[in-house]
Amino acid sequence: MTPISHMETLAIHAGQSPDPATGAVIPPVYMTSTYAQEHVGVTKGFDYSRTANPTRLALEQCLAALEGLELKQPAYGLAFSSGMAAIDTLLRLIKPGEHVLASNDVYGGTYRLFEHVLKDYGIKFSYIDVSNPNLLENSLLPETRLVWLETPTNPLLKIADILEISRRVKSRSPQILVAVDNTFASPHLQQPLALGADFVVHSTTKYLGGHSDVIGGAIVMKDRASYERLRYLQNAVGAVPGPMDCWLILRGIKTLSLRMERHSTNAVKVSEYLCGHSAVEQVIYPGLDIHPGHEVAKKQMKMFGGMVSVILKGGENAARKMVEATRIFALAESLGGVESLIEVPAAMTHASVAGSPLEVPAGLVRLSVGIENIDDLIADLDNALSGL
């Protein structure tokens, strides 16, 4: 058989050949904690579900295929009970005294884990604007062991040049690891491993699951030794997802490409609409040619994704009024589901980073543009903005 080499096909089939026992086309939900052994220590490949579970394995193989698509070698995937569990497990590769250089616009939960949990274990962290590769290169310390990127970032949608940064970091020292949190782009739009990163991390809660009905996380990598170590840590630490959660994420992934394309075309139209509105001060979207990261985004992303941020002329009051006036855009945290969401990061998702290097403008509104009809979405925004 010719190898499958397209995202849309792999999303539906990778890790999911029909069940040999029954012919079931969709991987069953293996709701079992343990597995009968034929003789002492003789198993069919599974002995305990923290270590391995067939539904989880299907998800792990599918995620690896999606992130490894542009590589000439297999990639390896591991699933976790949340995006934070994946990040925490990956950070266990870092030892006391070592340094992590991260984006100054990281996900708030990642910042909290780094600053308020892992710092107590002797790991050092610093935060910089990673859209500037010179600054990044100059900020590497002799003890730097990991560079942590998100691109686009949340909620300011800054773009980091994954290829350029990986090249510079590796030429400084091949020992420094590069990890990319690819949650905002999804593998359909961006494949960091092919651009030189060592690890891709996901909150599968967002675009991969895609339906706001499950919490999950993942790590994908191309190096077998890292995979063996992280699989060991996955089992040793134990933050694994249940089989039903894995099944929901697998089901969501089947439509990833269709969804990402619609999220992106809708977001382009929403950003263009907002650019033309008199109540709007600034629209932040990597697909706009005025965005400082537009050229890099064009180079490393297939489309520009579904997240749009906007600063209103009326500041914080106008922001709060707008998000409470929409009817289709639900006022809620999170992102990446089929439904449109709207929020004020300074008061909601980013309230915990006030006063830190991650503080965001109080008048910023973040939109997770869903896959609904674009005319309905724009009418909803138009109505909300007309009341300001």
Residues in contact with ligand PLP by the rule CB under 6 A: 82-84, 107, 109-110, 150, 154, 181, 183-184, 203, 205-206, 215, 217
Beta carbon nearer to ligand PLP, 53 or 212: 212
What does DSSP say about strands 217-221 and 76-80: parallel, antiparallel, or unpaired? antiparallel
Q: From the candidates 19, 35, 47, 50, which is the catalytic residue?
A: 50
- Joined together, the tokens standing for residue 308 give 């749009």
Sign of CA dihedral 108, 303, 367, 279: positive
- Residue of this chain nearest to ligand PLP (CB atom): 83
**Nearest distance in Å: CB 214, ligand PLP:** 9
Helix 256-275 vs helix 374-386: angle between axes, to the nearest 10 degrees?
Answer: 40
In the chain, where do the E strands start and end?
76-80, 99-103, 124-128, 144-150, 177-181, 199-203, 217-221, 280-284, 307-312, 330-331, 341-343, 364-368
Beta carbon nearer to ligand PLP, 67 or 380: 67
Query: How many angstroms separate the CA atoms of 307 and 185, rounded?
Result: 9
Residue 50 falls in the annotated catalytic set: yes
Walk across the sheet containing 280-284 and list its strands.
Answer: 280-284, 307-312, 364-368, 341-343, 330-331
**Nearest distance in Å: CB 102, ligand PLP:** 12
DSSP bridge partners of 150:
181
Q: From the candidates 30, 76, 107, 127, which is the catalytic residue?
A: 107
**Nearest distance in Å: CB 319, ligand PLP:** 20
**Nearest distance in Å: CB 180, ligand PLP:** 10
Q: How many Cα atoms are found within 13 Å in the side-chain-facing hemisphere of 360? A: 29
DSSP 266-288: HHHHHHHHHHT-TTEEEEE-TTS
Q: From the candidates 168, 206, 259, 320, which is the catalytic residue?
A: 206
276: buried, middle or exposed (CB in 10 Å: 19+, 13-18, 0-12)?
Answer: exposed
DSSP bridge partners of 76:
221
Beta carbon nearer to ligand PLP, 291 or 366: 366
**Nearest distance in Å: CB 142, ligand PLP:** 28
Torsion of CA 343, 349, 351, 352, to 10 degrees: 180
Beta carbon nearer to ligand PLP, 214 or 384: 214
**Nearest distance in Å: CB 327, ligand PLP:** 25
Query: How many angstroms separate the CA atoms of 277 and 286, rounded?
Result: 18
Q: From the candidates 88, 105, 181, 198, which is the catalytic residue?
A: 181
Beta carbon nearer to ligand PLP, 146 or 325: 146
Task: Return left, alpha or beta for 299; rule: phi > 0 is left, psi -120 to 50 is alpha, else beta.
Answer: alpha
Beta carbon nearer to ligand PLP, 110 or 325: 110
Residue 313 falls in the annotated catalytic set: no
Residue 380 falls in the annotated catalytic set: no
**Nearest distance in Å: CB 112, ligand PLP:** 10
**Contact of 43 with 89, CB cutoff 8 Å:** no
Residue 181 falls in the annotated catalytic set: yes
Beta carbon nearer to ligand PLP, 78 or 385: 78
**Residues designated catalytic:** 50, 107, 181, 206
